[in-house]
Amino acid sequence: YALAWSGWLDGWMDGWMVLKMMMRKLMEPRNRFWIVVVAAVLGLWVFYTRGVPVDEEDNNSLDSIHDRLRKSEEAAEEHLKRLNEAQKNFQQSQKDIYKMKRQVNELRNSSSFKTFPDVVVRNEFDRKRILITGGAGFVGSHLVDALMLEGHEVTVIDNFFTGRKRNVDHWIGHPNFELITHDVVNPFMYEVDEIYHLASPASPPHYMYNPIKTIKTNTIGTINMLGLAKRTGARLLLASTSEVYGNPTVHPQPETYFGNVNPDGPRACYDEGKRIAETMCYAYEKQSGVEVRVARIFNTFGPRMHIGDGRVVSNFIIQAIKGNDMTIYGNGEQTRSFQYVSDLVAGLIALMNSDYSQPVNIGNPDEYTIYEFAKYIREEVGNPDCTIVHKPATEDDPQRRKPDITRAKSVLGWAPKVKVHDGLKETIKYFKNELSRPSVKSNDKRGIGGPYGHDFEMPVAKKQPQSP
């Protein structure tokens, strides 16, 4: 141990001597500069490696600043992500709005945005494809209503000579309905199960306005429809008329009566046109096996009669509403029977659905003289100041007209249900509404064509009846 300690002391003393020599050397004036340099370097090294000492509170502030910066960066990233999603949603919304606008335009153009009456829903085996010629007219439009409500597919063809689109406008756009502008004088190719052939002007002023067209409609038009029925196997109902009886010598008129018609008179274009139409129906039935039905229609009235129709009921109602003179041609003792349009439509459908092919009278047997009927309408309108005036009788005007509906009752189970009094109330209401509309008939009548745009004078009878 003594030797060890002595060795250690010797080493320490040697080291101390060396340190003293070094310190002495360093303290020399020529070495003081380097001492300062070394001290400065050591100080900078300590400063940059250890940093500036800060207290604990400053440390916490820095940590919170870092946290806020980090959270702000996260929030910014989340906001940017939401902006991108919003942009995508906006672009999709623009596409959806464009599609919706296009759909709205399509709906407006197709009129399918309209609401329609509820119709019976039928399957393909029970739903008929029905064609109605002249379906935009007075009677035809009411027939359209009845068949559409039953759930059938109805196609109307009309040349609008006397018909109006307004009569069927409430069905335009319905998937079961189609309106085609067409003249039956020209061939028509279609697939149908039933044909109601109503095309023809029916008011004397209208069918006399263009007698050649009236004849062509009732002959060529009927041939075209019979040809269509033959090709498709459809059943055809001809809307004939009580005018086939002419000025009858039998009263009331049964279907077996052959009539008393003047083939050369002003009414012949319509009377004989319907008679040959009936003849053609039965020729096609016998020769080609076409199923036909013939309805002989008597005077009918109701809403949708044209304001310029020119027949007794519309003339009297309009004259009474306006307070004008009520015009009777002749002495007023000639008689007529009037049925409401809904009864006629029911009779036509019953006849079409029956197994009976011979002519059937469809009319109301209640008989009125024209003078009595004028007074009756004047009372219903409530304008007693209207004066009934007489004008010369017209040529070939039937003196008596009353249907014998025995066959309709026994074969079809049909009879009129609406009383004339009730039907007149609805018709008067309709004409009052029509007359309240702004007039479309200008003084010079420009823009109004066809039979409604002309004042037609009925041919005067050569021999006038005696006043009672």
DSSP state of 412: I
Q: CB of 304 within 8 A of CB of 138?
A: yes
Question: Alpha-carbon distance 451 to 429, whole Å?
Answer: 24
| Burial of residue 427, with CB atoms counted within 10 A of its CB: 0-12 exposed, 13-18 middle, 19 or more buried | buried
Sequence-ordered list of residues with C-beta below 8 angstroms from that of 145, at least 6 positions apart, any chain: 171, 345
Helix/strand/coil (H/E/C) assignment for every residue in 305-343? CCCCCCCHHHHHHHHHHHCCCEEEECCCCCEEECEEHHH
- Residue 368 designated active-site: no
What tokens appear for 4 in the block? 């060890």
Q: CB of 324 within 8 A of CB of 316?
A: no
Question: Alpha-carbon distance 295 to 163, whole Å?
Answer: 20
H or E stretch including 5?
Answer: helix 2-26
Report the candidate in 111, 236, 100 with the shortest Cα–Cα distance to residue 170.
111
Query: How far is CA 325 from its chain centroid?
Result: 40
Q: CB of 164 within 8 A of CB of 135?
A: no
Catalytic residue among 270, 284, 329, 452: 270
What tokens appear for 134 in the block? 């002249």
Which residues make beta-bridge pairs with 368? 336
Sequence-ordered list of residues with C-beta below 8 angstroms from that of 319, at least 6 positions apart, any chain: 325, 326, 327, 386
Report the candidate in 219, 153, 160, 162 with the shortest Cα–Cα distance to residue 190.
153
Sequence-ordered list of residues with C-beta below 8 angstroms from that of 202, at least 6 positions apart, any chain: 137, 139, 162, 241, 270
What order of strands is seen across the sheet that includes strand 235-241?
177-181, 153-158, 129-133, 194-197, 235-241, 292-297, 360-362
Active site residues: 270
